[in-house]
Structure 1
Amino acid sequence: MGRNPLLAALRTLRGLPRSFPATAGPPPSTSDPEFKLPKRSSLSIVILSNVFLQISFFIIVSSSSAFAEHLGGTASFSGLVIGIPTVFSALALIPLMKYDGGKYKLPLHIACASSIIAHILYGSAYAANFLYLILMGRIVNGFGFTGFLYAKRYCTDARFVGLRRRTMLAGWIVVGQGMGLSAGPFIGGLLYKVGFHNAVFNGYTSPGWVMVGVWAVFWVCVTLWYEDETKDTEPSPEPSIEMTTLAGDRQTSGIDISGPSSSTEISRISQRTHDINIDPEPSIATTEPAYKMTAHQWGVVACMCWHAMTCFFVLGAWESNISVYGAASHFQWSPFAAGNFIALGGILTFPFLLSNLILAPRVQDRHTLALGSALGMSGLLIMMGLLAADRVTFLGFLVAWFLVALGFNLASTVTLSLLSKQLPGEWNGRTSLLIQYSNYLGRTTGAIWGGSGVKVGMLRYVGLEIGLVGIGALMFMFLWRDLKAKTG
């Protein structure tokens, strides 16, 4: 008696796995979705946009206090000038995200246009002899600084960045941060030193006019070479279960699915299974349920937001305080000297930030966070000791600034990449927004706090920062196990 095709088909269906590999063997590393990267020219444009935004943020740091005082402002007003852009950037983010369509070209064009207008306003303040034109220019800069969020989101976008590439790309974002921290104050201080004695292009305004030219050239590059990803580059869908079953049974059950006879065989099977109820594979017919976060995951999100805020609070405070404290203390620094000091600390961090790009694929994000926080805390404690002993030397101040700059820049590399590894890809927009708002909150309040550091007392100034870092340390010690994520 011949083999029953119905029973053969049912046995095959019962023994099927829930999914099928796309290839017979493991995919090569170049096609592994965990290691994928976007188009190189577009990625380069995004990383460069972050560099130029960082330089735009920092280039006025060394001379803004002197510029504000020349036009009748105070040191606290100078801190406000440094920190105010992030407030307006935060206000602009949500409306912009409604129109970006999940893409990045529109935000890039907005960043270029806003930066050009902002630097023109800043550069015109001297000739107009109007203090608040500086503030207006920095407010418009804030609309351009929305690009900070899009750079971070691009580097963790699950559609075209593999899970094991995200910390590495976040490292490139922080390298850009370090470049802005080094090059911005140095260039600003150098331009102040050179002077260019005229009402339009002088030591106060030249940083603005130089950045107008830089952004104009970069805008042309964006137009020529940046391309949004045209399609989702996630792995192609698996073959359907019905087609795989029929194809796999051509040899074992004697059913030929090609040619006229296939319809006859399938019709016969359909008649003989008239009274048999076979449930379809549920994973094919149903959609994925809404993702629900656990209490521990919410704790991880809160921990990363706190660390993002703290890192930028401390960095922003030191960046705005160094020129104020340097001028008021026994150092008697000019804007040029203060800019050089800020830049020197940033330059010293560079070898370590570049090493982080190499080590990122081998080190867990939570270890990077712990190391960065420990280095930053050690810098704060050194500065506290120097202030308490009233023995702040150039070398001691530099060591403290170097450890603060290295530690908190290093810690800031993982705040978003860690969340992107623990949460689904569709949450990337929400998590990047939360982290960016935390960055903005820290940057704004830190810049104001740093500008007021001499007035409130330098011991209180550093003490608050130590307290914030200590709270963060308690959080990640409590959530240590929940912070584990894949390397890369």
Structure 2
Amino acid sequence: MVEFGKKLKQRQIQEWKRYYINYKLMKRKVKQYAKQIEVGAADRRHVLIDFSVMLDNQIEKVVLFILEQQGLLASRISKLREQHAVPTQQPHISKISELCEAYRAAGQDLLKLLFFVEMNAIGLRKILKKFDKRLGYRFTDYYVQTRANHPYSQLQQVFRHVGVGAVVGAISHNLANLQDRQGRCLSIYDHPSTPFKDPIIDSINAAVVRLTYSTNFLHFVGRHAFIMEEELPSTADDAVDEQGYHLMSLFLNLANTFLYMVNTYIVVPTADSYSMSLGAAATVCGVVIGAMAVAQLLSSVYFSAWSNKSYFRPLVFSSIVLLVGNVLYALAYDLDSLAVLLVGRIICGLGSARAVNRRYISDCVPLKMRMQASAGFVSASALGMACGPALAGLLQTNFKFYKITFNKDTLPGWVMALAWLIYLVLLWISFEDPAREAEENISRQANSGPLENGALESGLTRPLILRTEEKHQQDDDEEYEDSEVSKESHKPASTIRSAYRLLTPSVKVQLLIYFMLKYAMEILLAESSVVTSYYFGWSTSSVAIFLACLGVTVLPVNIIVGSYISNMFKDRQILLASEIVVCIGIIFSFHIISPYSVPQYVCSGFITFIFAEVLEGVNLSLLSTVMSSKLSRGTYNGGLLSTEAGTLARVVADGTITLAGYFGESRLLNLTLIPSLFICISSIIATICNYNSFY
């Protein structure tokens, strides 16, 4: 928190310094409240009212300044428009060029204003979280509920569009018209699907998206990757652009993601028949599928730590391990050994390099391409999820070659072993590991350079003589900062325990939601072959088609949500609504009325799966805004925590399927849905209780 206060001070626009929220003052007040409550000198109501008034005044100061600057920008644009009709002796092209530059200059000032708003918005979120953490109150709930929905809400002025849309439109429209010398340019309003492109307009639109959380398909899908970044832009991000990156290495990184997801789901349609061929019950498929997830709980940690030093070596190790694991999985049939089958799947799980895949995008892809790369990561995962079962459905053959059996059960292992062998060769030939020394130098420059410059600037602008009251206040602030610096480390979390301490109640709720949706999806997918075989007599091909159809819905659903729904409703509204619909889908899946029909199963499955996908994107989007920035880097980062939560859900779900199988296949469906329903209802209740903290 101290680190943010320093960054806020360093990055303030000097001429607007007095219009920023006084983060230091509010932080000191929080400390005073904590001491007063500790000795019983203040009650809850007094603290809430007093701090609310202070926040209201700070926000009003910011909002009035924003409105003033918007008015000045509007006046400038209006005067520029008048110059269109003023006769001039300058060449026509020269006049157009001057006006274009004038509009771009106005755009630069608008961008500066948006940065001012963004800094204040981040500061408000930080101080609200700090208040809740230090005093143990649910102040954010109270404050957001009473302020955000009021018709005269100044809080919304900071966190939403702040009226810049009209200014952006005016600059875009006039720039577009000016760039057509004959004045016959097609209006941007008549062709909204092909927006006017200009570097300054692109920068403004990106700033608006960051500020308002308005989104589109690319951003919505990209946030599924949960690649956390620092809340404030840093010079390290710019340095990544300068040092460049290797496009082929990025493609190979995404190919690893795709192949791993294919590897995970290619066995789902045949896991039950493979288990039965080795003398086990069909429901042992839960253990077969879940063995990979169990190992992934461990592999995610050591791969995340390994990616601090290299990307190439862990990817090579991952490919070799997955190659060996798939060979063992395929040989288990001829060895007639369930143990070999499970060992093969465990070894495959030990090769899960998704932590490396995320870190590579976060650390090595230029900032301007990071969202596209993140969307590629999610798309590769979704495509792999759909291709896995579809490929299993095509592998319907049975023959022997040198006493090695190739059939629907073993072919998934052999095909994936071949795929990983080819990938390993391409990786060895084409992948370029970025120089770690350059990255460390960039990190040191990002950490040391701005501090020195900020100290110099603050020294130059500081008054020579301070009033006594101001000097005492400053001394108190600096003393408080120094004391907190000694208590809090600004380094990334170094252990799971330290990472857990950074999780606020709202973050824990969202991790519970993530656990719930992954649990519900895994129950649906992993037991599909057993359930459909028992109730409907489906073949392996039929199960594969059903699972592939589920996987194919991922990207279209994200297009709809990312392009339309997320711009119409707030993320927390979509979050709660999706949870409720997932709950309805689970309830509809129960076998209560006989006979159990195909339409009931298919419809309930699609409802559960589709809205769980919607829920995942919105949940991770909100999670990235409320999770501590200390979890953006290091081994125990936010991406690892979310991966562990999702993987643990899969492990528990697959274990539930196997345990429920002891009661017979006739009871399997209902017994596995009961925990799913309970967890879903619990997450809905937790969401309602923390609804206003998702802001």
Same fold (TM over 0.5): yes
In structure 2, do the counterparts of structure 1 residues 326 and 248 end up closer, same or farther at CA, with 3 Å as the change threshold?
A: closer
Shift of 1:332: 0.8
Instruction: Summarize the alignment of residues 446-457 of structure 1 with structure 2, pairs less than 5 Å apart.
Output: 446-451=653-658, 452=660, 454=665, 456-457=667-668
Displacement of 1:406 in angstroms is 1.2
User: Bigger relative contact order, structure 1 or 2, given CA contacts below 8 A and separation 6+?
Assistant: 1
Tell me which amino acid in the other structure corresponds to 1:477: I
Deviations 1:3-53 (A, max 9, x none): xxxxxxxxxxxxxx7546599854755597769798573544443322221
RMSD of the alignment, in Å?
Answer: 4.2
Quote the offset at 1:197 in angstroms: 5.1
Find out whether 1:422 has 2:626 as its counterpart.
yes
CA positional deviation for 1:111: 2.2
Q: Which amino acid aligns with 1:393?
A: S
The answer to whether the 8 A contact 2:398-2:405 is kept is no
Match of 1:326 in 2: 532
Match of 1:61, SS state, is coil
C-alpha separation in 1, matches of 2:532 and 2:597? 11
Judge conservation of contact 1:313–1:442 (CA < 8 Å) in 2.
Answer: yes
Alignment partner of 1:462 is 2:640: no
User: Distance in 2 between the 1:303 and 1:163 partners?
Assistant: 32
Residue matched to 1:237: 450
> Does the Cα contact within 8 Å between 1:304 and 1:435 map onto a contact in 2?
no
Residues 53-97 of structure 1, C-alpha deviations (whole Å, 9 max, x = no match): 111000011111111111212123221010011212213343444
TM-score with structure 2 setting the length: 0.54
Find the aligned partners of 1:194 and 1:421 in 2 and give their Cα distance.
50
Matched, 1:389 2:593: yes
The reply to whether residue 52 of structure 1 matches residue 259 of structure 2 is yes
Q: Give the match for residue 121 of structure 2.
A: none
Are 1:50 and 1:151, in contact at CA under 8 Å, matched by a contact in 2?
Answer: yes
SS, match of residue 389 in structure 1: coil
Aligned mates of 1:114, 1:444 — CA distance in 2? 20
- Whether 1:215 and 2:420 are equivalent positions in the alignment is yes
- The answer for the alignment partner of 1:76 in structure 2 is 283
C-alpha distance 421-150 of structure 1, shift in aligned 2 (>3 A): farther
> Does the CA-based 8 Å contact 2:282-2:530 persist in structure 1?
yes
Counterpart AA for 1:184: G
Counterpart CA distance in 2 for 1:377 and 1:317 is 14
- 1:204 aligned counterpart, secondary structure: coil
Distance 1:215 1:461 in 2: 34
> 2: CA distance between counterparts of 1:350 and 1:154?
23
- Whether the 8 Å contact between 2:310 and 2:433 is mirrored in structure 1 is no
**CA deviation after TM superposition for structure 1 residue 418, in Å:** 3.3
Question: Contact 2:581–2:608 at 8 Å: present in 1 too?
Answer: yes
Deviations 1:400-435 (CA, angstroms, capped at 9, x unpaired): 111121122232234444333323433133433332
**Which residue, out of 398, 421, 445, partners 1:195?**
398
- Which residue pairs with 2:92 in the alignment? none
Matched-pair contact (CA < 8 Å) for 1:320–1:447: yes
Q: One-letter code of the match for 1:186? A: A
Q: Which has the larger displacement, 368-377 or 387-396? A: 368-377
Counterpart CA distance in 2 for 1:159 and 1:46 is 11
Distance 1:345 1:245 in 2: 57
Alpha-carbon displacement from aligned partner over 1:346-405 (angstroms, at most 9, x marks no partner)? 223441134445469847543443343233223212222xx2112432223221111121
Question: Against the structure 1 CA distance between its residues 359 and 142, is the aligned structure 2 distance closer, same or farther, given a 3 Å change threshold?
Answer: farther
State the distance in 2 between where 1:432 and 1:379 align: 28
Does structure 1 residue 205 correspond to structure 2 residue 410?
yes
Report the more deviating stretch, 401-410 or 92-101.
92-101
The alignment's TM-score, normalised by the length of structure 1, stands at 0.75
Return the alpha-carbon distance in structure 1 between the equivalents of residues 499 and 354 of structure 2.
Answer: 26
Q: Secondary structure at the match of 2:420?
A: helix
Stretches of structure 2 lacking an aligned partner (at least 5 in a row): 1-8, 15-104, 113-199, 208-231, 465-473, 491-497
Please report how far the alpha carbon of residue 336 of structure 1 lies from its aligned counterpart in structure 2 after TM superposition: 2.0
Q: Post-superposition shift, 1:461?
A: 2.5
User: Are 1:340 and 2:577 counterparts?
Assistant: no
Mapped contact 2:571–2:622 kept (Cα < 8 A): yes
Of stretches 112-121 and 196-205 in structure 1, the one that deviates more from structure 2 is: 196-205
* CA distance, structure 1, for counterparts of residue 364 and residue 573 of structure 2: 27
Q: Does 1:317 pair with 2:530?
A: no
Given residue 537 of structure 2, which amino acid in structure 1 is its aligned partner?
Q
SS in 1 for 2:596: coil
Residues 56, 244 of structure 1: alpha-carbon distance in 2 compared, 3 angstrom cutoff: same
Q: Which residue of 2 aligns with 1:107?
A: 314
Contact residue 182 and residue 347 of structure 1 kept, 8 A: yes
Contact 2:303 2:356 (C-alpha < 8 Å) held by counterparts: no
CA distance in 1, matches of 2:613, 2:359: 18
Q: Give the corresponding residue for 1:352.
A: 557
User: Counterpart of 2:533 in structure 1: which amino acid?
Assistant: A
- What pairs with 1:126-145 in structure 2 (closer than 5 Å)? 126-145=333-352
User: Which segments of 5 or more consecutive residues in structure 1 lack a partner in the other structure?
Assistant: 1-16, 250-268, 270-277
Distance 1:425 1:73, change over 3 A: same
Within-5 A mapping of 1:358-397: 358=563, 362=567, 365-384=571-590, 387-397=591-601
Aligned residues: 436
1:181 pairs with one of 379, 382, 385: 385
The letter of the residue matching 2:519 is F
1:128 & 1:241 partners in 2: Cα distance? 68
Q: Flag the 1:47–1:300 CA change in 2: closer, same or farther, 3 A.
A: farther
2:683 match:
472
Q: In 2 relative to 1, CA 18–316 (structure 1 residues): closer, same or farther, beyond 3 Å?
A: closer
What secondary structure does 2:406 align onto?
A: coil
Quickly say closer, same or farther: Cα 1:456–1:21, change in 2 above 3 A. Answer: same
**Equivalent pair of 1:68/1:74 in contact (CA under 8 Å):** yes
Q: Determine the C-alpha separation between the residues in 1 that align with 2:417 and 2:375.
A: 27
Tell me the distance in 2 between the aligned counterparts of 1:241 and 1:444.
49
Q: Distance in 1 between matches of 2:233 and 2:580?
A: 30
